[in-house]
Structure formats: C-alpha cells, structure tokens
Amino acid sequence: MAAISMRLPVARKPVGPSAPRGGEKHLVAPGDTITTDTGYMRGHGTYVEDEKLIASVAGAVERVNKLICVRALKTRYNGEVGDIVVGRITEVQQKRWKVETNSRLDSVLLLSSMNLPGGELRRRSAEDELAMRDYLQEGDLISAEVQSIFSDGAVSLHTRSLKYGKLGQGVLVQVSPSLVKRQKTHFHDLPCGASVILGNNGFIWIYPTPEQKDEEAGGFTTSVEPVPLSDREVITRLRNCIVALATQQLMLFDTSILYCYEASLPHRIKDIIKPEVMEEIVLETRQRLLHLEG
C-alpha cells in the first residue's frame, strides 16, 4: 500500500544545552575576540589583529597552558596518525590509489602499504603494479589506518593488517567527522546482529556480521550471497538511528548507537527519520547516557 506523507515545514527548535560537564564551553564565531591578553600563543583557528586574538572558525576555544586554539565544529576531516578511516577509491595511479576521505585533499594509499592476497610479504613488482585494478577499482570502499601525514596535509593510509581491506556488502552513512568519538577500537560487533565501523573521517560502514572470523584473503573477494532479511532490517534500523543521532548532534560511539537502537525498537523503521520520533528517541538516548555517567 503506498504511503505518502506530506507535511508543512516546522521551524527547527534550538537544541537545548545539555547539562554542562566540567564547565561551560567557550563558543566563538569567526571574527569574535577571544582575548586581548598578548601573553598567549596563537594556535589553529586564530589570528592576531590590533593586539587582539580573534577566531577565524566557528567552534569551541581550547586552552593548553599558553596555547589557545579554536576547534571547529563543522569541518573537513583532519587526519591524525593512528586513526581508522573508511574511504572510497577515486583514482588508480602508478603505484598508488587516491582515496576520498572527506578531507581537504584526497588521501593516498601506496601499493607498498597494501596487503597482497594470501598475506605474502614481498617486494612489489611490475606485475603487481599492472594488476592494481584487480585489487581495488574506482568506487570501491576500503577501511584503512592513517600511517603518516604529508607536509601539505594529505593523509597516507595503510591496510597492513587483516582487519583492514576492501569492504563488501553493507550501507555507508556520512556524518560530520567531529561527531565520531575517539576510542580504543572502531570496529564494533553490536549485539543486535550487525557490525559497524566508525571511521574517524565521518564515514560509517554498517554491514552484516560475518560468520567465520578467519579472514584468509584479507577481504578482497566480495561475497555475492544475498544478506538475509532479518539482518537487513537490523542494518536499516541502525542506519536510521545513526542518521537521527547525527541530526541531533549527539556523539557517535558504540554505546550511544546501541542505546538509540534499543530506544527505537517500539517504532517502525521508516518512522525513525520523522522529526518528532527522532527527537523522542534521541532524548531517551541522551538520558540513558547521562545516567550511565553519573
């Protein structure tokens, strides 16, 4: 039965500030004066004009001893060594791939930083270079770790572990990078029946939990078997929950996603993205998280 819902738009309600933990955050907009004290060193996101320290981005002020910097809330991904990212291949070049990771420059995945199928460790030859397209093509999704950062800010990735590599069937959700919390591990097998990779660059990959845990090929062959319906429903519900959390600007980590999933169970999957239902679910998640903390 066709279900078409049309509505009149309602003005977005300003999200009320949640209980401040550890003091108020000093929020600034571009052009706001942070301080007139000249004793401070200026960090990222600030500049000096007429002996005043002025913010150049919109975000929260962070002070470490004498260094003041402004961390922007809505920004492209700034790579840091050790981050897990999910990226999409945009180009295949000589001895390397260009990967799109929602940063200012395309990231680079060198052929020598990539695992060969079979897990062999050998010098990359000319045949490997010619066969690059067989491993990864334009449009493929990969999970990788940041190895180093070039001087211009471009990020160099590596997939030197069996848990990284090409991603198979699943759903990609794009959120702002500042919403993904930094944690010890970003690969989660959620108890509700699906797995999720929370990339630090804001790309979140939801996929069905693989049965066998041993990865012989390092993830190069995509399984063509259709995903069962029950898993699909879990994945779709998770996707809508993550979109709801991102719209309401809540930090994304495994516990918040799980609580949101549980709060959304009484509703139908397609209702989760409706504004009223979204607010209700996220409010419940927020309360449970606050309860967990204190």
Give the interface with other proteins as residue ranges (CB under 8 A). Answer: 1-12, 88, 138-141, 166-172, 222, 224, 226-227, 229, 232-233, 236-237, 239-240, 268-270, 273-274
Supply the minimum distance, in Å, between the C-beta of residue 247 and other proteins. 12
User: Tokens at residue 266, please?
Assistant: 């009484």
Of residues 2 and 19, the one with the C-beta less far from other proteins: 2
Instruction: Please identify, using beta-carbon distances, which residue of 140 and 280 lies nearer to other proteins.
Output: 140
Q: Quote the tokens at residue 285.
A: 């998640």
Place of tokens 């809508």: 240
Strands 194-198 and 187-189: antiparallel
State which residue, 45 or 218, has the beta carbon closest to other proteins: 218
Residue 18: HSE in the Cβ half-sphere, 13 Å Cα cutoff: 16
Nearer Cβ to other proteins (1/29) = 1
Beta bridge partners of 86: 143
Q: Are 68 and 56 in contact (CB under 8 A)?
A: no
Residue closer to other proteins (CB basis): 8 or 121: 8
Closest approach of other proteins to the CB of residue 172, in Å? 7
Reduced to 3 states (helix: H, G, I; strand: E, B; else coil), residue 171 is strand
| 85: β partners | 144
CA angle in degrees (0–180, nearest 5) for 243-275-294: 65
Across the strands, what pairs with 203? Answer: 174
**Shortest Å distance, C-beta 241 to other proteins:** 12
Secondary element (H or E) of residue 237: helix 229-247
**Shortest Cβ 26–other proteins spacing (Å):** 25
Rounded least distance, CB 12 to other proteins, Å: 6
Q: In what order do the strands lie in the sheet with 194-198?
A: 171-174, 203-208, 194-198, 187-189
Shortest Cβ 110–other proteins spacing (Å): 21
- Tally of residues, the chain: 294
Please work out, in degrees rounded to the nearest 5, the angle formed at the alpha carbon of residue 88 by the alpha carbons of 181 and 240. Answer: 50
Which CB sits closer to other proteins, 56 or 90? 90
User: For residues 262 and 285, what is the distance between their CA atoms, to the nearest angstrom?
Assistant: 9
Select 158 or 267, whichever has its Cβ closest to other proteins. Answer: 267
* 42 vs 232, beta carbon nearer other proteins: 232
Q: Would you list the DSSP string of 98-157?
A: EEE-SBSS-EEEEGGGSPPTT-------HHHHHTHHHH--TT-EEEEEEEEE-TTS-EEE
**Distance of closest approach, residue 86 Cβ to other proteins, in angstroms:** 11
For the CB of residue 269, give the shortest distance to other proteins in the complex, in Å: 3
> CA–CA separation, 208 vs 194, rounded Å?
5
